[in-house]
Amino acid sequence: MSYIINAHSTIITIPNQHKQIKPSKMESATAAPTQQEFIFRSKLPDIPIPTHLPLHSYCFQNLPLFHDRPCLIDAETATTLTYADVHLATRRISAGLHSIGIRKGDVIMLVLRNCPEFALAFLGASRCGAPVTTANPFYTPAELAKQATATKTKLIITQSAYVEKFKEYLETNNNDVKIMCIDGSPEESQDTSVLHFSLLTNSNENDEPEVNITPDDLVAIPFSSGTSGLPKGVMLTHSNLVTTVAQLVDGENPHQYTHSEDVLLCVLPMFHIYALNSILLCGIRAGAAVLIVQKFEITTLMELIEKYRVTVASLVPPIVLAVVKSGDTHRYDLSSIRGVISGAAPMGMELQEAVKARLPHATLGQGYGMTEAGPLAISLAFAKEPFNVKSGACGSVVRNAEMKIVDTDTGTSLPPNKPGEICIRGTKVMKGYLNDREATERTIDKEGWLHTGDIGYIDDDDELFIVDRLKELIKYKGYQVAPAELESLLIAHPNISDAAVVPLKDEVAGEVPVAFVVRSNGSNITEDEIKKYISKQVVFYKRINRVFFTESIPKAASGKILRKVLTARLNEGLVTN
């Protein structure tokens, strides 16, 4: 077993070793009883991780080995950038950022669809010490403004289609914030207030500033709702991301799914930590080629996999489902795929079997983690035998990390096969939430354990199983939807006196948000009116799927919404409109 029992030196169990250390008679007579603590670790030995290196230096540490090999392939334009091209571009971007006034600690906001410029801007910002906050380009102007304000963004890098979304925000900030476009021609632009990305890429790399970057400096600030509440900035350091990449790529181990000969499919949004870390950064560190696909369309995706001989496809269950259910996939040669990785949401056994039937030569891996954990905490090893996956399991602890399962009432750590809250510890764990000490202290305890808000257990084979969720998040196709955010919008409506939002299971999306609404006295507001009201204010995946009117919202004495009561009503078919 790969767990350690710390109980006043009574029993210590180390992976692949079994040794009991008995206390002396004196100790037995005088020692106060202590609670056993079960801490789970990987069966694999820890590896040295160069956390002293900044993220960009670590990713390009093996540049001489891959200098002329493909690094980024743009599926949209069929353009390929070699490792030498990418490294040079990031140096120039770092110099260019310095020339327009960006300094260490200034935040850059990337509002981009998948494109090579995303990767170049992220790594260039890393070089000059500027943390990057990533945002979904489909966010509403209000959602984008909130994130830019919270992070005190100094520069927004986006595409021309999204510039208008920032008009009001930029006017409010009196030009203290710069905005830059990656597309269009700088000569043709009529708006001199909008900078062009070529200003950075045409800079002289020899003008790159010398910046002293420490392991504890921030490199990324993605947003997450955590275990509850509104979206919050997750402070990820250079050390955090170096650790998470090293755990997956460095050294010889079964978790290593990325090699230098691989072609990695990147169709998942790069603004999400899953694609940013597990595809882009892992790919560059390994010397692989990353195929960047701007949007998901099933036929185009099949064509690209065949054309570029994709070897590893990192996906989410809804895309996996679309691939296996499409009647056209048999027309394409997908034999190059040796690995399919699914994350962000659970993949059921039925879907696993469907993938096995369609891609019998490939191996399936599933991962579990969260943005706050840098993000991956668990990973299924790619077995030599295809689809050697235990039903319902989502992997075992990665190297250089610890996990424990705790009783949700007492906080006591639990032995194998006992469900409780999953807690994670290691240098991968975030620095904290941006400007939110209270939320940070609720999530990371004094011993450094990150409390995930997920309920699970570890079996006798060290495999983790997720069985429930303490946290309030709704997962729509892998995207986070915070009920509290939608509830605050609903309650702000003059014809709504109270509201609660809970998940409803959906075959395609996984979960969709539904609302229980209490009308104000005399109000006749309709479901359609509420849906339209919400749709104007949030990105598409946060939209309310259904509205149920009720006399009251069930709450505890503390005022906390009893979401499980509402979810039970849904599951038991006790609600109608």
Which one is predicted more confidently, 393 or 73? 73
Of 201, 174, 225, the closest CA to residue 85 belongs to 201
Distance CA 312, CA 298 (A): 17
What tokens does 389 get? Answer: 């996956």
pLDDT at 386: 46
Q: What's the one-letter identity of residue 319?
A: I
Range in 215-219, 473-477, 501-505, 559-563 with the lowest mean pLDDT = 559-563
Structural domains for the chain: 3-34 (no CATH), 79-214 (3.40.50.980), 400-467 (2.30.38.10), 481-571 (3.30.300.30)
Q: Please say whether the beta carbons of 193 and 175 come within 8 A.
A: yes
pLDDT at 568: 86
Residue 311 vs residues 24, 303, 333, 355, 515: alpha-carbon distances, Å: 57, 14, 12, 15, 42
Q: Kindly tell me if the per-residue pLDDT of 14 is higher than 50.
A: no
Q: Kindly tell me if the per-residue pLDDT of 140 is higher than 90.
A: yes
Q: Please say whether the beta carbons of 118 and 279 come within 8 A.
A: no
Q: Given pLDDT bands bounded at 50, 70 and 90, which one contains residue 466?
A: confident
Alpha-carbon dihedral 43, 48, 51, 57, rounded to 10 degrees: -120
Q: Given pLDDT bands bounded at 50, 70 and 90, which one contains residue 480?
A: confident
Give the pLDDT mean for 313-331: 82
Distance CA 513, CA 536 (A): 16
pLDDT at 383: 43
DSSP conformation letters of 147-179 = HHHHHTEEEEEE-GGGGGGGHHHHHHTTT-SEE
pLDDT at 356: 83
Distance CA 16, CA 446 (A): 30
Of 272, 265, 231, 195, the closest CA to residue 481 belongs to 231
Average pLDDT over all residues of the chain: 86
Q: Given pLDDT bands bounded at 50, 70 and 90, which one contains residue 343?
A: confident
| pLDDT above 90: percentage of residues in the chain | 60
DSSP conformation letters of 496-559 = EEEEEEEEEEETTTEEEEEEEEEEPTT----HHHHHHHHHTTS-GGGS-SEEEE-S---B-TTS
Of 380, 414, 412, the closest CA to residue 397 belongs to 380
Q: Please say whether the beta carbons of 355 and 320 come within 8 A.
A: yes
pLDDT at 72: 99
pLDDT at 388: 52
pLDDT at 25: 37
Range in 82-86, 183-187, 351-355 with the lowest mean pLDDT = 183-187
Half-sphere exposure of 1 (CA within 13 A, CB side): 16
Per-residue pLDDT reduced to its tens digit, 238-272 = 999 999 999 989 877 655 678 899 999 999 999 99
Q: Please say whether the beta carbons of 378 and 398 come within 8 A.
A: yes
Range in 65-74, 170-179, 339-348, 431-440 with the lowest mean pLDDT = 339-348
Strongest mean pLDDT among 45-49, 229-233, 316-320: 45-49
Q: Kindly tell me if the per-residue pLDDT of 500 is higher than 80.
A: yes
Per-residue pLDDT reduced to its tens digit, 366-385 = 788 889 997 776 765 454 44
Q: Kindly tell me if the per-residue pLDDT of 11 is higher than 70.
A: no
Distance CA 529, CA 425 (A): 46
Strongest mean pLDDT among 136-150, 323-337, 508-522: 136-150
The pTM (predicted TM-score) of the whole model is 0.84
pLDDT at 379: 64
Distance CA 288, CA 283 (A): 5
Q: Kindly tell me if the per-residue pLDDT of 17 is higher than 70.
A: no
Q: Kindly tell me if the per-residue pLDDT of 550 is higher than 80.
A: yes
Which one is predicted more confidently, 315 or 192? 315
Q: Please say whether the beta carbons of 211 and 194 come within 8 A.
A: no
pLDDT at 32: 45
Q: Kindly tell me if the per-residue pLDDT of 553 is higher than 60.
A: yes
Which one is predicted more confidently, 297 or 5? 297
Strongest mean pLDDT among 34-48, 197-211, 326-340, 349-363: 197-211
**Cα 173–chain centre separation:** 30
